[in-house]
Structure 1
Amino acid sequence: MQHRMKTHMMTKEKIEYLLNRTTTCSIATLNADGTPYVTPMHHIFHNGYIYMHGLPKGTKIDNIKANPRVSITAYEMDSLLLDPKGNACDTNTKYQSVIISGVAAIITEVDYKREILMEIVKKYTPQLSDTVLPENMVAGTAVIKVQILDITGKYYG
């Protein structure tokens, strides 16, 4: 276990708070040749799952279909903590971060997709939360659901 995980572990409540307030995360999938592929995404943490949305085709979707195991990270950097004596090597960072290991699936059921897309609208554009999503937009959007297998959070500062 990393040193900071021993001394600066976030509680479940703080992890969930970070996931709910951050606007982006990165999802790592594996390419067919085994190399990692990392994509920045908008996300929501809803009912114990991470959800993301995007185009229904592309490398990320192909990778999830071939191997659904993923890793997600979300973080906030607050500020640099400069050493009072000016030693560059003793500069630190005030931050919070969450790392998730999970299994991703592409949601195909239309009503479920619509429900999750509305939750995404509520987070990112709450002023539009009473809007009805067009059927073609719901049908043409990929919604990724990540079942969380392991989740850790740490902070400093």
Structure 2
Amino acid sequence: MQHRMKTHPLTEQQINHLLQRTQTGSLATLNADGTPYITPFHFVYYDNSIFVHGLPKGKKLDNIAQDSRVGFSVYEMDKLLLDPNGNPCDTNTKYESVIISGTAKLVDDMDEKRNVLKKIVEKYTPHLVNYELPNNMIKGTAVIQIDVTEITGKYYL
């Protein structure tokens, strides 16, 4: 276990709060040759799952179809903590981060997709939450659900 995970773990409540307020996360999938492929996303977290949305074709979807194992991370940097003596090697960062391991799958059910997309609207454009999402837009949007198998968070201040 990493040293900071032993000394500076986030509580479950702090992890949930970070996942609710953070605007972007990075999804890591595996290419056919085993190399990682990382994509930044807007996301929502609820019911112990991360949900992202995007185009219905692309490398990330191809990767998930061949291997559903994924990683997801979020990170918020507050500020640099400069060494009082000016030593650049002793500069640190005040931050919080969450790392998730899980499995990904496409959400096919139209009602579930609509629910997820509404939650995304609530998070990013709450002033538009009362507008109806057209069926053709829901059909044409890929929604990926990441079922969390492991979640850890850490901080430094």
TM-score bracket, normalised by the shorter chain, equals over 0.9
Measured after TM superposition, the shift of residue 48 of structure 1 is 1.4
Measured after TM superposition, the shift of residue 46 of structure 1 is 1.1
> Does 2:125 align with 1:125?
yes
- Equivalent position of 2:88 in the other structure: 88
Aligned equivalents of 2:30 and 2:49: distance in 1? 20
Measured after TM superposition, the shift of residue 37 of structure 1 is 0.1
How many pairs align? 157
- Equivalent position of 2:57 in the other structure: 57
Aligned equivalents of 1:57 and 1:27: distance in 2? 16
- Equivalent position of 1:103 in the other structure: 103
Aligned equivalents of 2:128 and 2:112: distance in 1? 19
Unaligned runs of 5+ in 1: none
Letter in structure 2 aligned against 1:30 = L
Instruction: State the SS of the aligned residue for 1:34.
Output: coil
Moved over 6 A (4+): none
- Equivalent position of 2:27 in the other structure: 27
CA deviations 1:52-72 (Å, max 9, x no partner) are 000010000110111000000
Aligned equivalents of 1:46 and 1:53: distance in 2? 14
Unaligned runs of 5+ in 2: none
Aligned equivalents of 1:69 and 1:131: distance in 2? 35
CA deviations 1:57-115 (Å, max 9, x no partner) are 00001101110000000010000000001010000000000000000010001111001
Aligned equivalents of 1:128 and 1:113: distance in 2? 17
Instruction: State the SS of the aligned residue for 2:121.
Output: helix
CA deviations 1:111-131 (Å, max 9, x no partner) are 110010000000000000001
Measured after TM superposition, the shift of residue 47 of structure 1 is 1.5
Aligned equivalents of 2:25 and 2:39: distance in 1? 8
Matches within 5 A, 1:132-143: 132-143=132-143
Instruction: State the SS of the aligned residue for 1:80.
Output: strand
Aligned equivalents of 2:47 and 2:147: distance in 1? 10
Aligned equivalents of 1:108 and 1:135: distance in 2? 13
Query: What TM-score comes out, normalization by structure 2 length?
Result: 0.99
Aligned equivalents of 2:26 and 2:58: distance in 1? 16
- Equivalent position of 1:154 in the other structure: 154
Aligned equivalents of 1:63 and 1:124: distance in 2? 27
Query: What TM-score comes out, normalization by structure 1 length?
Result: 0.99
Instruction: State the SS of the aligned residue for 1:26.
Output: strand
Aligned equivalents of 1:124 and 1:47: distance in 2? 19
Aligned equivalents of 1:154 and 1:49: distance in 2? 19
Aligned equivalents of 1:94 and 1:85: distance in 2? 18
